[in-house]
Structure 1
Amino acid sequence: MSELSLRDKIEEALRTVHDPEIPVNIYELGLVYEIKIGNNNRIGITMTLTAPGCPVAGDIIREVDQKVRDIEGVSDVDVHLTFDPPWTRDMMSEEAKLELGFL
């Protein structure tokens, strides 16, 4: 069995982060817009939240930072929060839509 790539490991870690108000992980919700792997495995993550006033925004950002930082080989992590484009249900994976009853 081949070893997971760094991107696979990052995606796997992001699937363990949940918005406390929605029982689906942030990756399947479509909250992660971009994952960049730069020089020396410096990771850049551009993500959003389901709503700009999300009361647990800081907690989610810290959890993303910590879980990605804990991956072997990662040298640094930059989590960038954006609301452009704004998140919509259309960004969710089919799996997340099914789980939440949107299909």
Structure 2
Amino acid sequence: MADSEVKEIQWTLHQTHPERVQEVRARLSEVIDPEIGMTIIQLGLIRDVEITADGIGHVKMILTTPFCPYGPAMIEMTKAKAVEGLNMPVNIEMGMDMWDFSMMEDPSALDWGMYA
């Protein structure tokens, strides 16, 4: 795969409810990391989305840094947008993965000179 190729992260939702993926991605793309100026989708911060057997949405996400000052607000906004996209209650799980540039869906952002 070329470095500039967009690689959409595959969630559990892609296999179980593919008809919901586009709407969820659209809503979650409205959440922007204010320090970086990119969406949580572009950054690859949403690691998984699924619907549990009891009909509750489950979103696993990470932050670019564990001490992100905007973290609490981004988590709340992510939850609100996931509820809109799934049209059901949603739980947010914070993953322990350490974010790095390879998690980005669109590495062409690196070509903008944003990161040295």
Q: Same fold (TM over 0.5)?
A: yes
Distance in structure 2 (CA, Å) of the matches to 1:51 and 1:42: 27
Alignment coverage as a number of residue pairs: 98
Distance in structure 2 (CA, Å) of the matches to 1:70 and 1:24: 20
Per-residue CA deviations over 1:57-86 (Å, capped at 9, x if unaligned) read 110010011112123x62210111122x21
CA contact (8 A) 1:50 1:87 kept: yes
The aligned amino acid for 1:88 is D
Which ranges in structure 1 are unaligned for 5 or more consecutive residues?
none
The aligned amino acid for 2:47 is Y
Shift of 1:41: 4.2
Tell me the equivalent position of 1:88. Answer: 100
After superposition, the Cα gap between the structure-2 partners of 1:40 and 1:92, relative to the gap in structure 1 and judged at 3 Å, is same
Tell me the equivalent position of 2:71. Answer: 57
Per-residue CA deviations over 1:5-49 (Å, capped at 9, x if unaligned) read 212211111111011001110111011111112236421110100
**Identical positions, percent:** 25
1:31 partnered with 2:26: no
CA contact (8 A) 2:27 2:84 kept: no
Given the alignment, which residue of 78, 89, 92 partners 1:79?
A: 92
The structure carrying a bigger helix percent of its residues is 2
The aligned amino acid for 1:79 is I
Which ranges in structure 2 are unaligned for 5 or more consecutive residues?
1-17
